[in-house]
Amino acid sequence: MAAKPLRRVTTDEIAAFDRDGAVLVRAILPQEWVDRARAGLDSAIAAPDTLSENLGTLRVDQFPASRSPELRSIIEESPVAEIVGRALESPVRFYMDQLFYKPKGFVPATPWHQDTCYYNIAGHDLIRAWISPDPVPRNVSLEVVRGSHRWNVTYSPLAGRDPETSTRAQAMLENARLDRPMLGADAYEDWTYWSGIRDKSLPLVPDIEAHRDSYDILGWDYEPGDVLLFHGNILHAALGDVTSPNPRRAHASLWAGRDVRYLHRLGQVIPDPVALYEHEPRSGQPLSDFPEVFPVRWSPETES
């Protein structure tokens, strides 16, 4: 049985997530799970694999829970699934996770982007849980454009080869078939953020940073034990370009509710979860069609 949070997600927090697309749920994760996150992140950071990439001083790993027992326990045994499920008011299935590491010293900013355009999934019931064993002050923490999860726009990813300038991307585009993923299971062997192609048919992310006063931007001072929840479709970034005395280690898990379906994206950037490939999913199939790959981790029907 999964561990319980320190408290229930409140009705105000649920309403804030639905309205704004993000909410910081404060002081809800027991210290044991903060400690496990620290241990799991440190072990994964020390042992990069083929899905680890350094983007300047930012280190990003895909699917780190697949090789870290501590991070896997956060998915399977911690209160995180219940916290995200209560905020979404839906049964939730774990889709994938990521590790983000910015060492102490100069902390670069992370540009504005949208997550779901990078994956072969679509739907409204998508939620991220972002946790860290480190205090993350407002000047280096995540920001979101309030309400942008309801704009009903899928933006072009920031990564991927440009088919207008890359001969390899042109060849990939010519051979593309929308009945199969752009990135196969072999992508796990030698993956980078530029393994795929950029879908030029999608609109570009607005230049939010140049027009910050035109947007309603939310941000927070984060403390260990908090859980930052944000919608899979929301525009978000991370402040930076400052010097920090502390590292910023973070684990971000992506969870799917009832309406999330598989979708072959032309501009797929992140490979599918490896266990999904053998099922050869079709666009439009709900993730519930693959319970072996995406089991329900928490459901309101089984809780009082």
Evaluate whether residue 217 is within a structural domain: yes
Instruction: Please say whether the beta carbons of 14 and 229 come within 8 A.
Output: no
Evaluate whether residue 2 is within a structural domain: no
Evaluate whether residue 300 is within a structural domain: no
Radius of gyration of the chain (CA): 18
Instruction: Return the CATH number at 56.
Output: 2.60.120.620
Evaluate whether residue 59 is within a structural domain: yes
For residue range 269-300, what is the model confidence (pLDDT) as tens digits? 999 999 999 999 999 999 999 999 999 999 99
For residue range 83-135, what is the model confidence (pLDDT) as tens digits? 999 999 999 999 999 999 999 999 889 999 999 999 999 999 999 999 999 99
What is the residue range of 250's domain?
11-275
User: Quick one: tokens of 235?
Assistant: 């525009």
Evaluate whether residue 258 is within a structural domain: yes
Evaluate whether residue 236 is within a structural domain: yes
Whole-number Å distance between alpha carbons of 71 and 37: 6
Evaluate whether residue 269 is within a structural domain: yes
Q: What value does the mean pLDDT take over residues 25-32?
A: 98
The residue type of 228 is L
User: Quick one: tokens of 286?
Assistant: 């709900």
Evaluate whether residue 303 is within a structural domain: no
The residue type of 257 is G
Number of domains in the chain: 1
Whole-number Å distance between alpha carbons of 82 and 253: 13
Q: How many CA atoms lie within 13 A of 260 on its CB side?
A: 26
Read off the pLDDT band of 303 (50, 70, 90): low
Whole-number Å distance between alpha carbons of 74 and 189: 26
pTM of the model: 0.95
Which residues have CB under 8 Å from 213's CB, separation 6+? none
The residue type of 249 is R
240 or 224: which leads in pLDDT: 224
- How many CB atoms lie under 10 A from the CB of residue 117? 23
Residue 186, pLDDT > 60, answer yes
Whole-number Å distance between alpha carbons of 82 and 63: 20
